[in-house]
């Protein structure tokens, strides 16, 4: 992209008790949210870094390391923008690698269909919070790994979804293989960028929460390839996202969404 096509946006964001002074280079003209998703991912990583720093100041040690892929066997609720981004990422892979990843997606969906979990994902709004928690545990017990997990590490770590960036724990690593409500200690974050992204498909911020399990990313992206995607100037999208992020309570959790 040539320099005249870009704009540098400088901003200040209060995250908890910290002030983040940053700048981002984004397309100056109209783009889709997915086109600047890497910029939003970087912003999310900056917010998470504040949470990490606060945890270390409290004497806590973050357990997450390459080679520990227990959390990569959870449902992993991703935004529609992340689904589009991941689908494009897979499409751009060398043919042999793309075939392996696509096959992992196919096998994961087939296994979940066999267990009756895909049908439950599509009707999550029917279930109580306790029932949804049990569905999540059924998913974990099924042992269906993220299709991007290789050698117990994320093979797309720099491009991983926003919610994956937010998942950090300080409990003993062995607890992650047998999680309960009481033995997992999440790193508290001063804000949750993923919650903002769930409702940011139009680049402004809408009322409806939109997210889906990561294993359905390729299927969903293929089904919605022809959907109209609003375009706005890159700086406007970034500032809209920052406003949306600033107004989301850190302890807010989204209602169930239809897949």
The answer to pTM > 0.85 is: yes
Instruction: Please state, in angstroms and rounded to a whole number, the distance separating the CA atoms of residues 193 and 249.
Output: 11
* Confidence tier at 256 by pLDDT (50, 70, 90): low
pLDDT for 124 equals 78
Average pLDDT (190-218) is 89
Q: Is the pLDDT of residue 1 over 50?
A: no
Query: What percent of the chain shows pLDDT beyond 70?
Result: 94
Tens of pLDDT, residue by residue over 49-98, are 988 888 899 999 888 888 788 889 988 999 999 999 999 999 999 999 99
pLDDT for 2 equals 47
Tens of pLDDT, residue by residue over 87-135, are 999 999 999 999 999 999 999 999 999 999 998 888 877 888 888 888 8
Average pLDDT (168-177) is 84
Tens of pLDDT, residue by residue over 161-171, are 999 999 988 88
């Amino acid at each position: 992209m040539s320099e005249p096509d870009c704009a540098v946006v400088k901003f200040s964001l209060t995250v908890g008790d910290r002030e983040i002074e940053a700048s981002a280079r984004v397309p100056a003209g109209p783009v889709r949210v997915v086109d600047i998703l890497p910029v939003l991912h970087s912003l999310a990583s900056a917010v998470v870094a504040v949470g990490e720093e606060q945890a270390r100041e409290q004497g806590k040690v973050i357990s997450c390391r390459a080679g520990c892929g227990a959390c990569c066997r959870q449902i992993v609720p991703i935004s529609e923008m992340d689904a589009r981004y991941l689908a494009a990422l897979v499409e751009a892979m060398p043919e042999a690698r793309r075939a392996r990843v696509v096959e992992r997606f196919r096998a994961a969906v087939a296994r979940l269909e066999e267990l009756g979990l895909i049908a439950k994902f599509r009707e999550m709004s029917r279930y109580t919070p306790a029932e949804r928690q049990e569905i999540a545990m059924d998913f974990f017990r099924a042992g269906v790994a993220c299709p991007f997990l290789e050698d117990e590490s994320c093979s797309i770590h720099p491009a991983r979804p926003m919610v994956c960036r937010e998942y950090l724990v300080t409990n003993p690593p062995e607890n992650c293989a047998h999680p309960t409500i009481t033995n997992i200690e999440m790193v508290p974050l001063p804000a949750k960028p993923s919650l903002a992204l769930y409702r940011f498909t139009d680049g402004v911020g809408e009322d409806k929460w939109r997210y889906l399990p990561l294993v359905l990313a390729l299927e969903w992206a293929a089904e919605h390839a022809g959907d109209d995607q609003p375009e706005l100037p890159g700086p406007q999208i970034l500032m809209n996202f920052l406003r949306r992020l600033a107004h989301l309570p850190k302890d807010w959790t989204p209602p169930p969404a239809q897949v």
